[in-house]
Amino acid sequence: MIPRIVKILKVEAFKVLVTWDNGELRVIDFAKNFDTWKKENNKILFPLMNEDIFKEVSISECGTLQWENVPIKFVWKGQERTAPLDLDPVVLYEQSKELTHYRLVEVGSI
């Protein structure tokens, strides 16, 4: 079964905390991918390195992350079309970590 994102709980500095359809809370840290994107010259993903663009993330109808503010042009059945940038949910799930891997500070303890 392909994992799907059902809710975005928090977005901050290139990290997204999401709830998956299996009930897991997982953090996707995109900053870890920036060097790879640069080495591979993956210009489609470059806009996500801008925090103002990145924070406009939403969930697509397919249950994955998308950026409507990053339009992607493609040809389908001979016609040019435009759609929001979206990412493979399987890759996002594999690159994410369970929330328990992050050290959280209790509110009021600082």
pTM of the entire structure? 0.86
Q: Are 32 and 16 in contact (CB under 8 A)?
A: no
Whether 43 is in a domain gets the answer yes
Distances from the Cα of 5 to the Cα of 22, 46, 84, 85, 103, angstroms: 9, 23, 16, 16, 23
Residue with tokens 């993956």: 42
Residue 101 sits at φ, ψ, to 5 deg, of -80, -10
Among the ranges given (1-15, 49-63, 93-107), the one the predictor scored with the smallest mean pLDDT? 93-107
How many structural domains compose the chain? 1
Domain limits for position 67: 5-100
pLDDT digits (tens, 9 = 90+) for 25-80: 999 999 999 999 999 999 999 999 999 999 999 999 999 999 999 999 999 999 99
Residue with the bigger pLDDT between 78 and 101: it is: 78
Q: What is the pLDDT of residue 103?
A: 63
Whether 16 is in a domain gets the answer yes
